Amino acid sequence: MTLSSHNTHPKDILLREDRLPHIWCAGCGLGVALNCFIGALVDSGLDLQKTVVVSGIGCTGRTAGYVKLDSFHTTHGRAIPFATGLKLANPDLNVIVFSGDGDLIAIGGNHFIHAARRNVDLKVICVNNFNYGMTGGQAAPTTPTQARTATTPKGNLEHPFNIPYLAAGSGAVYVARWTTLHVRRLQQAMKDVLLRKGFSVVEVISPCPTLFGRLNKQGTGAEILEYYREKSTIQHGMDPAKVGIDLGGEIIVGKFIDQPDKPTFMDNYRALFGEKEGA
Ligand code: SF4
């Protein structure tokens, strides 16, 4: 696929226009995340004929249907095992997982930690809106303590996962977090993971004004971006253990982990079995 042979907007070429209009609510951050992702794909120079996108279920999971690449909208929580199979069957592919916190960290949580531990060469973009959006705003394992959701109307009793800490502790070689306010930095981080080898994660903090935002009186999508502006601090190299997010609290963003030299699963496979079997 060549990007210069069309007269359309340079990003339109990577959208399936026949699938539009999209389903996302006004003020949702997912359009921003997708825009940054397409920009990163274009900037990366990757061979798009060898690039695939895998999503699970949920609002974020619709992305696989909107990008004009080989893409797979898989069952709930199973984006990572599906992507792992693609990568191991054809190691030449650039395999990207683009899915939400409910899909990747709840139902898919087991797959997430073990793919990170194995250092499977996957690029994971996890959009975190702190709840299950598509199914009605239920609590997720990322929902901050005390936050109201459809299933925690008086406030969440549980402690949430801190996604960068979970990723880093499980072995991810690249871990970054940005919000949908930080569009240039977010696009750069997405480009970074597209060009990294190994299990690489970008967490995207994103507004869900329709459900999580409404139930927690965060206002419109624009007002949530204003909250991100007031409460975000950039701290590259920060210990991921210290970047947990409390309801309405500070959001530490930046690149926390970058270990480009760690052998991947396929590196170890080839070292053990040789090039031919590991081709
Ligand atoms: Fe976005 Fe929330 Fe609407 Fe889903 S429910 S599209 S996450 S605003």
What is the C-alpha to C-alpha distance for residues 235 and 43, in angstroms, rounded to an integer?
A: 25
- In the prediction, which pLDDT does 9 show? 73
pTM: 0.95
- Strand, coil or helix: 117: helix
Query: What pLDDT is attached to residue 277?
Result: 57
| Rg of the chain (C-alpha set) | 18
29 Cα nearest atom in ligand 1: 1
Ligand 1 closest atom vs CA 59: 4
| Predicted pLDDT of residue 203 | 98
Q: Which residues, listed in sequence order, are joined to residue 54 by a DSSP beta bridge?
A: 72, 97
CA distances from 69 to 38, 117, 170 (A): 11, 28, 29
Atom of ligand 1 nearest to the CA of 23: 6
Query: Among 28, 63, 135, which residue has the most ligand 1 atoms within 8 Å of its CB, making it the best to mutate?
Result: 28
Ramachandran class of 17: left when φ > 0, alpha when ψ lies in -120 to 50, beta otherwise: alpha
- Which residue, among 166, 178, 74, 78, has the nearest Cα to 125 in the 3D structure? 178
pLDDT score recorded for residue 4? 47
Residue with the nearest Cα to atom 1 of ligand 1? 28
- 237-266: pLDDT as tens digits: 999 999 999 999 999 999 999 999 999 999
Distance CA 233, CA 251 (A): 6
| Per-residue confidence (pLDDT) for residue 276, from 0 to 100 | 62
77 lines ligand 1 (CB under 6 A): no
The CATH code of domain 12-273 reads 3.40.50.970
Number of Cβ atoms within 10 Å of the Cβ of 83: 30
CB distance 127 to ligand 1 below 6 Å: no
Query: Which segments in the chain show pLDDT lower than 50?
Result: 2, 4
